[in-house]
Amino acid sequence: MDLYAVIMAGGVGSRFWPRSREKKPKQLLKIFGERTMIQNSVARLNGLIPSENILIITNKLQRDEIVEQLPELDPANIIDEPQGRNTAACIGLASLIISRKSPDAVSLVLPADHLISEEDNFRNTLKKSAELAVKTKGLVTIGIRPSRPETGYGYIQVGEKVVDNGFFRVNSFAEKPNYATAVRFLESGDFYWNSGMFIWRVEDILNEMKIYLSEHYSSLAQLKGNPGEDSFRKSMEQIYNEVKSISIDYGVMEKSRKVYLTLADFNWSDVGSWEEVYQKSDKDERGNVVVGNVYSDMTNDSYIFSPNKFAAAIGLENVIIINTEDALLVCRRDQSQDVKKVVDHLKHKQMTEYL
């Protein structure tokens, strides 16, 4: 089985402002440990996929930093899209590139900014999913067993179990729910968190795009040349001017009749907010996570990041403080999902120096 990996690394990480910026978003930061999130995403594929079979799809602003962070990859495999067109275009582009090299290849499509432990289990799950994709000629996604009524994730509803080792047919996809709906999903027992990871034969995903996203497929089929060549760049720019912005979930997965779910056998988080970082970090005796030169007094259950400037926090509880060279964020932990509103405000006011 010829395995490839496609790592999607074009996001801006607006919920991680002010650390996350357009040129250096969440996936390019050291959030946990000494490696960036994209470096971890590539490293956990060691022993499963050779480096020459790993493609990174990103954008112009981030490509140079990714090339620098991932010297083990051929720079030609780090492809910057002319403009953001959501995941359908990204996945279609990568699938077409891979199919020209290896028509029977199986592609593992993975986000660049997830936190995953138990990496042996992760690789085993990918291998089992690839075998299922070959056997069924289906589209396989990885579901996470929900531990709480989470409103920040999409959900997948499963039907009948296909085989005994955690494979199900998929009945439906659900967008991020409100709290009451999330509780119902959890109580039903047949909904799983949508991890945003996909496994399929490139021939099969392209065939499904031909059916459900025919305009995308027709445009992408016009791609000329190979990554790194001028003809490739020119034709990609023309294609991206034509295709609409749509997610692979909405464009294909919600419509296809050949979707399967593998149940994850590893710890996972999409680290979608500063609250998630707090939850996943080691805490001191007062429940605080402190990074940098910080004085705290009567402060509990908080995340304080101030590596380059002295900071003091007195009499606070359940707050997030992110103190960078040019910006400061202070918010309640339970409102950390709303940090993206700051980015929207900066865009509206054209305060691009802070983006």
CATH number, position 244? 3.90.550.10
pLDDT at 152 over 90: no
Say if CB 153 and CB 181 are below 8 A apart. Answer: no
Q: Which domain holds residue 302?
A: 274-354
Residues pairing with 7 in the sheet: 56, 110
Residue 176 inside a domain? The answer is no
Residue 174 inside a domain? The answer is no
* 50 prior amide bond cis, ω within 30: no
Report how many domains make up the chain.
Answer: 2
Digit-coded pLDDT (tens) for 85-125: 999 999 999 999 999 999 999 999 999 999 998 999 999 99
Are 44 and 96 found together in one domain? yes
Residue 158 inside a domain? The answer is no
Residue 60 inside a domain? The answer is yes
What is the value of pTM for the model shown?
0.92
pLDDT at 4 over 80: yes
| Rg from Cα positions in the chain | 21
Digit-coded pLDDT (tens) for 267-296: 999 888 999 999 999 999 999 999 999 999
Three-state secondary-structure class, residue 18 = coil
What's the confidence (pLDDT) of residue 164? 65
What's the confidence (pLDDT) of residue 137? 95
The one-letter amino acid code at 55 reads L
Are 199 and 320 found together in one domain? no
**Distance between first and last Cα of the chain:** 43
pLDDT at 176 over 80: yes
Are 253 and 278 found together in one domain? no
Residue 266 inside a domain? The answer is no
Chosen domain end from 228, 258, 288: 258
Are 320 and 247 found together in one domain? no
Digit-coded pLDDT (tens) for 322-335: 999 999 999 999 99
What's the confidence (pLDDT) of residue 237? 92
Say if CB 177 and CB 194 are below 8 A apart. Answer: no
Query: What's the mean pLDDT when you consider all of the chain?
Result: 94
Q: Report helix angle 86-101 to 202-212, nearest 10.
A: 130
Are 214 and 288 found together in one domain? no
Chosen domain end from 212, 227, 258: 258
Distance set, CA 28 to CA 202, 243, 327 (Å): 27, 27, 19
156 class by beta-carbon count within 10 Å (0-12 exposed, 13-18 middle, 19+ buried): buried
Chosen domain end from 233, 258, 283: 258
